[in-house]
Chains A and B, each alone.
Chain A
């Protein structure tokens, strides 16, 4: 059953990668990459249960934290062209 679950998660990851490669705008790619991050967390958790080593979950927590920070960092970079820009102002 864990094997089937990890197979389903891998199919989902493949579909998200297809959208990330095809996406016409940068936002399509960001939505897909957000899905890929969530899929990596799930794959880590299910793989840990499959092999009997649930210690991988710590890495999953780290991925969950990095995922949202990464998405918002890329968005800010495309909006202001600079990660150090203070938000709320129009770019020059």
Chain B
């Protein structure tokens, strides 16, 4: 029984660490603010919660597990709020989303259904 508990905890920890590393590389590889936010949310929300859930399984039914549950709830509420605030502030200040046309040329605008690009209005 103890063995199963350890295995489950390490499984969650391993998946969480993998997602954390993917998010970390994504922050550095993505081309503009909005896509970087997208990559950061992978590690900030799912990766962190999986790691904390693994620690919760490792702790068993104790006060420590309750504290970890409180941290998970806080992360679930505050992470999306902060990301939404950053995205809204960036859009209001005038940071434009970087898009690409279908033939691979970089452009700033909205891709129409037929593939043409309407330039972003200032």
Contact = CB atoms under 8 A, between A and B. Distances in A.
Contact of B44 (A9, A14, A38, A72): A38
Given A32-B27, A38-B79, A46-B55, 15 more contacts: A12-B21, A16-B24, A27-B89, A28-B36, A34-B86, A35-B24, A46-B51, A61-B70, A61-B71, A65-B78, A67-B78, A68-B79, A75-B85, A78-B89, A78-B93
A91 to B, nearest CB: 11
Interface in A19-34: 19, 25, 27-28, 30-32, 34
Interface in B54-74: 55, 58-59, 64, 67-68, 70-71, 74
B13 A45 contact: no
A83 interface: no
8 contacts: A11-B24, A30-B86, A35-B43, A38-B48, A42-B52, A46-B51, A60-B71, A68-B79
Contacts of B93: 27, 78-79
A5 B19 CA distance: 12
Interface of B: 10, 13, 16-17, 20-21, 23-25, 27-28, 33, 36-37, 40, 43-44, 48, 51-52, 55, 58-59, 64, 67-68, 70-71, 74-75, 78-79, 81-83, 85-86, 89-90, 92-93, 95
A34 B82 CA distance: 8
Contact of B82 (A5, A12, A61, A71): A71
Nearest to A66: B78
Contact of B20 (A1, A8, A67): A8
A68 B82 contact: yes
Contacts of A45: 51-52, 55, 68, 71
Interface string A51-78: 0001001101100110110011001001
Given A12-B43, A19-B36, A35 B27 contact: yes
B96 to A, nearest CB: 11
